[in-house]
Structure 1
Amino acid sequence: MNKKEVANKYLEYLEKGDINNVVDLFDINGIVDSPIYGVKKADEFYRELSNDTTNSELFLKGIFEQTNSNDLALYFTYKWTLQNNQEVEFDVVDIIELDSKNKIKKLKIIYDTVVARKLVDKLKE
């Protein structure tokens, strides 16, 4: 897969909650840096996210590639329904660093956590 195909598959699998296929897009040591969940190995992060999630809807706004680089950015709106049926919607930028085989080495998630953090904290109570 090329960079754009990886990005599109990532969004498709994430929206479907297909955690095994999301994790397969990462290299063996791939990590996710999330403002709510912290820095974790990809499989650990996505399993925790899946456990907290009832439904996800993603609305892609753009994929941005840097020339002569294995990095790209995804810009999308994320409508997230948590296990307690609380919903939150926010814009997200994911910065993806790929290795030479187009496996994700690192994914940094950037979004405003004001509402989402409160809802996830409530879920953990």
Structure 2
Amino acid sequence: MSGIDTAQYAARLTDYLQALEQSNVDGVVALFAPQATIYSPLLGWVSPASFYRKLAEASGNSKITLLDLFHSSQGSRRATAYFRYDWVLKDQSTVSFDCVDVFDFNADGLIEKLVIIYDTHTIRADLGDRFSPD
């Protein structure tokens, strides 16, 4: 992935979304570089392992619907997934929202930075303290 290859980005993002939907922590974390960071609107900057472990512990059978994929038009190793997340929590309550995840890749095609973007206003009200920082 040292050059911009949109097919590889699409495949990597599809793998990511499938592993995320399945709460496959090991599968998701394997897509990240060792020193990768994630920005979550609810948790701030976190490591992939801690973020996906916490998410799996809080989640039930969630559903992800891919809406579109985008790649950088500026020549950077960046791609974006736009999707609907019907997040089912362990208590079976559901929080649904549209989300944009912005991925920066390293030269080996691993994710080195992920910025998660969504409107947290209604989600915070629905979640309460069920997915708050430790």
Does TM-score exceed 0.5, indicating one fold?
Answer: yes
**Any gaps of 5 or more consecutive residues in structure 1?**
none
Equivalent residue for 1:63?
Answer: 69
Aligned-residue identity in percent:
32
Find the aligned partners of 1:103 and 1:91 in 2 and give their Cα distance: 24
Find the aligned partners of 1:39 and 1:92 in 2 and give their Cα distance: 17
Aligned length: 125
Q: Pick from 97, 100, 109 the counterpart of residue 93 of structure 1.
A: 100
Equivalent residue for 1:112?
Answer: 119
Find the aligned partners of 2:93 and 2:43 in 1 and give their Cα distance: 18
Find the aligned partners of 1:58 and 1:99 in 2 and give their Cα distance: 25
Find the aligned partners of 1:124 and 1:92 in 2 and give their Cα distance: 17
Residue 61 (structure 1) shift: 0.7
Contact 1:74 1:95 in 2 (8 A): yes
Contact 2:106 2:112 in 1 (8 A): yes
Find the aligned partners of 1:78 and 1:57 in 2 and give their Cα distance: 6
Residue 116 (structure 1) shift: 2.0
Find the aligned partners of 1:119 and 1:39 in 2 and give their Cα distance: 22
Residue 41 (structure 1) shift: 0.5
Contact 2:99 2:118 in 1 (8 A): yes
**Structure 1 pair 122/4, CA: closer, same or farther in 2 (3 Å)?**
same
Task: Give a deviation string over 1:79-105, Cα, whole Å, max 9, x none.
Answer: 001122211110000000000001000
Contact 2:103 2:114 in 1 (8 A): yes
Worse-matched range after superposition: 16-25 or 115-124? 115-124
Find the aligned partners of 2:90 and 2:123 in 1 and give their Cα distance: 13
**Any gaps of 5 or more consecutive residues in structure 2?**
2-7
Per the normalisation by structure 1, the TM-score is 0.93
Per the normalisation by structure 2, the TM-score is 0.87
Contact 1:32 1:39 in 2 (8 A): yes
Contact 1:23 1:42 in 2 (8 A): yes
Equivalent residue for 2:88?
Answer: 81
Equivalent residue for 1:16?
Answer: 22
Two-structure CA RMSD over aligned residues (Å) = 1.6
Contact 1:84 1:123 in 2 (8 A): no
